[in-house]
Amino acid sequence: MRVVIRNLKFISLLVLYLAFAPLTARAQEARLRFGELDKLEAKASGSVDVSLDGPLLRIGISLLKEKKPEEAAIKELVIGLKGIYVRVFEFDKEGEYSNTDIESIRTQLQAPAWARMVGVKSRKEGDNLEVYTMMSGNLVNGIAVIANKSKQLAVIQIVGTIDLDKLIKLSGKFGIPEIDINIDNKERKE
């Protein structure tokens, strides 16, 4: 009888682990690995590397004042963030980075965790823009942007929960671009 109970406990723990493993894996998939882009820094004439997570991000959020309506609204929007990561490279000549360099990021932004939301390509100008999101209902759990030109490459990622309803309410204010989308067939209030 004791053997059966021990086996049942083991099986129960195993079932719980298997049930929650996808959630753990999904959380790990949110943060992009930028390692492949590091080699571009040696070729670039200029670069930007921003990694705000953990305590640094919390300090920044705590500096926003609740008494100022604009700052309180932004604080409410970004309180669920876990990290902001930016990599920007500028090159003197065309061809100093390749599509293969960008592909290392794109392969991390695949379904089922990520979905491409926007794709804009200009053959004439050579500009490309891709926006990916990781969604859970109406909540965005991650945003990734890849923007590139012939002599520039930028990869931006925001990890954490962003409520689209709150983001839409702030659109067109505080430097946030105007966002005109409907969620759950609700009409946007102007």
CB atoms within 10 A of CB 12: 10
Q: Which two tokens stand for residue 64?
A: 């926003």
Measured CA to CA, the distance from residue 133 to residue 142 in angstroms comes to 6
pLDDT in tens, 1-15: 444 444 444 444 434
Give me the sign of the Cα torsion angle 110, 55, 37, 93.
Answer: positive
In which band, very low, low, confident or very high, does the pLDDT at 132 lie, cut at 50, 70 and 90?
very high
Res 2: pLDDT = 47
pLDDT of 107 > 80? The answer is yes
pLDDT of 75 > 90? The answer is no
- What DSSP line would sit under the chain, residue for residue? -HHHHHHHHHHHHHHHHHHHHHHHHHHHHHS---GGGTTHHHH-SEEEEEEEEHHHHHHHHHTS-TTSHHHHHHHHHHTTEEEEEEEEEE-SSTTSS-HHHHHHHHTTS-TTT-EEEEEEEETTTTEEEEEEEEEETTEEEEEEEEEEETTEEEEEEEEEEEEHHHHHHHTTSTTPPP----STTPPPP-
Measured CA to CA, the distance from residue 106 to residue 116 in angstroms comes to 10
Q: How far is CA 15 from CA 5, 21, 62, 175, 188, in A?
A: 15, 10, 40, 47, 43
Peptide bond into 177 cis (omega under 30): no
Res 161: pLDDT = 87
pLDDT in tens, 87-100: 999 999 998 998 88
Residue, of 114 and 66, whose pLDDT is higher: 114
Average pLDDT (156-177) is 71
In which band, very low, low, confident or very high, does the pLDDT at 28 lie, cut at 50, 70 and 90?
very low
Res 89: pLDDT = 95
Say what the pTM is: 0.70
pLDDT of 80 > 70? The answer is yes
Q: Which two tokens stand for residue 95?
A: 């061809």
Res 59: pLDDT = 86
pLDDT of 177 > 70? The answer is no
pLDDT of 145 > 70? The answer is yes
Task: Report the candidate in 114, 118, 175, 165 with the shortest Cα–Cα distance to residue 142.
Answer: 114
